[in-house]
A and B are shown apart, each in its own frame.
Chain A
């Protein structure tokens, strides 16, 4: 018998899709039974009370959670998000219900042993409710009391080799695609750099001094599996400078139907014979491919590395050999101002683990210097770029404007020069001038 009646939540279970309400009920039951005989450190009925307070919010049409808090673990200004409910008498199990962000491993590789350890800890010291993974990338542990925070942190940091993630005005937990571990498209080792920068920027991750949140995300190629281009203040997208490698034999095999296009991903339905002209050449966004007399050729100077042809014929077409990444800046998906995609700042940079990614760190740090000084409170990098202009960004990071920065032909006829860009500056010698120009 449930502790609280929840007719409105029950209704949510009636749809055809999996329901978080069913999941929560299952967890509530599991805690009540406590088959492992754990010495539960937070109220046994925490999940029941969570369902109860959510039902009440639905009934009232307003939230019963307060927002924010001063809780955390010692020395860290992030990783814990304090949550309190405003009906603690009615729902004592969720009087405090803090969220812990746990830094996910690069590429999200776990061992089952690790996951078991984490879940056991969370059953024992928290609500047992997890979110794998939040849109932040982190493992999210949802709901515990203030006294458990240090305990959970101690266990993770001393016995699980595990750190908390970022929250608040910090560097957020860097996130990356699975990269070279599984994927032939990866132009650099996303996991290695993600890990390196996470370790390098520990202070930025845990001690908030930024105007607002700041995110790095790493995609091994322009397929953008972690959607870095839309979701991170600095997005690192793998690319190459030389030519797409073509295996002419394999092209023939695709055309002849011996190899299924898209790795067989569309095999669920008969789409007819593979048509290289229509499905590859005709869909190239820059029109830089040709298929003539059984030979496929690419004008690589015009190719934008969109990945389409490679995705369709992965065994015939492969990424080039001269690899690195592009850096884009300023993406955000905020509530108030509308989403914004990243803008290209560095078309190509080497991703070099030998010198610990120095070229990339130089760009990062000059951007932080600029944003920390010029950014308003709660202003994301993308908003600062919009407010002060891309030109200011280029000056701040010491990069010259180049054709790749240009999105479209300009529509504004004015050019605003700065004094130091004009020979002789704004001063003139009137006598010199009068020699050639009468009054």
Chain B
């Protein structure tokens, strides 16, 4: 799969779920891509690098989201 194709799948997939949640586990994304986690990771890393996805962390748990979505994002983009 090409990066662009993977990106479209993930952005589409996450947008569909935005009504109910804004933060996603890594495995939710691997499922959208229908890939084994270690392969999916390469694509997801690139999406973070390109600013298509952003990390969220509780300290113990990490999640992914589309930049600028969710309550927390509104509260945290302080500038």
Contacts and interface: CB of A to CB of B under 8 A. Distances in A.
Interface in B23-50: 25-27, 36-38, 40-41, 44-45, 48-49
A81 interface: yes
A99 B45 CA distance: 23
Contacts of B27: 211, 377
Contact of B55 (A66, A70, A84, A99): A70
A75 B55 CA distance: 10
B3 interface: no
A377 B55 CA distance: 16
Given A78-B57, A207-B41, A170 B62 contact: yes
B78 A169 contact: no
Contacts of A212: 60-61
Interface in A319-345: none
A67 B60 CA distance: 11
B73 interface: yes
A282 B69 CA distance: 66
Contacts of A217: none
A146 B61 CA distance: 20
A84 B60 contact: no
Contacts of B75: 66, 84
B60 A77 contact: no
B58 interface: yes
Interface in A345-365: none
A72 B78 contact: no
Nearest to A83: B59
A431 interface: no
A140 to B, nearest CB: 11
B62 A208 contact: yes
Contacts of A78: 57, 62
Contacts of A70: 54-57, 65, 72-73, 76
A75 B49 contact: yes
B26 A209 contact: yes
Contacts of B48: 75, 77, 207
B26 A210 contact: yes
* Chain A at the B interface: SS class: loop
Contacts of B45: 203, 207
Given A68-B59, A72-B55, A82 B76 contact: yes
A166 to B, nearest CB: 10
Given A75-B49, A81-B57, A211-B27, A369 B41 contact: no
A169 B37 CA distance: 13
B38 A169 contact: no
A167 interface: yes
Contacts of B57: 68-70, 72, 77-78, 80-82, 167-168, 208
A348 B54 CA distance: 42
Contact of B37 (A68, A69, A209, A378): A209
Contacts of B58: 67-68, 168
Interface string A195-226: 00000000100011111110000000000000
A77 B56 CA distance: 8
A169 B72 contact: no
A96 interface: yes
Interface string A99-127: 10000000000000000000000000000
A369 B38 contact: yes
Nearest to A82: B57
A84 B71 CA distance: 14
A99 B56 CA distance: 14
A315 B48 CA distance: 56
A71 interface: yes
A377 B62 contact: no
A368 to B, nearest CB: 8
Given A207-B41, A211-B26, 19 more contacts: A70-B56, A70-B57, A77-B48, A77-B62, A78-B62, A81-B57, A84-B76, A167-B59, A167-B60, A168-B60, A203-B41, A207-B48, A208-B57, A209-B26, A209-B38, A211-B25, A211-B27, A377-B27, A378-B61
25 contacts: A66-B75, A67-B58, A67-B59, A68-B56, A68-B57, A68-B58, A68-B72, A70-B57, A70-B65, A72-B57, A75-B49, A77-B62, A78-B62, A80-B57, A81-B57, A82-B57, A146-B78, A167-B60, A168-B62, A203-B41, A207-B45, A207-B48, A368-B38, A369-B38, A372-B36
- Give the top 8 A-B pairs by smallest Cβ distance, nearest first: A168-B62, A208-B62, A68-B58, A372-B37, A169-B62, A168-B57, A209-B41, A81-B59
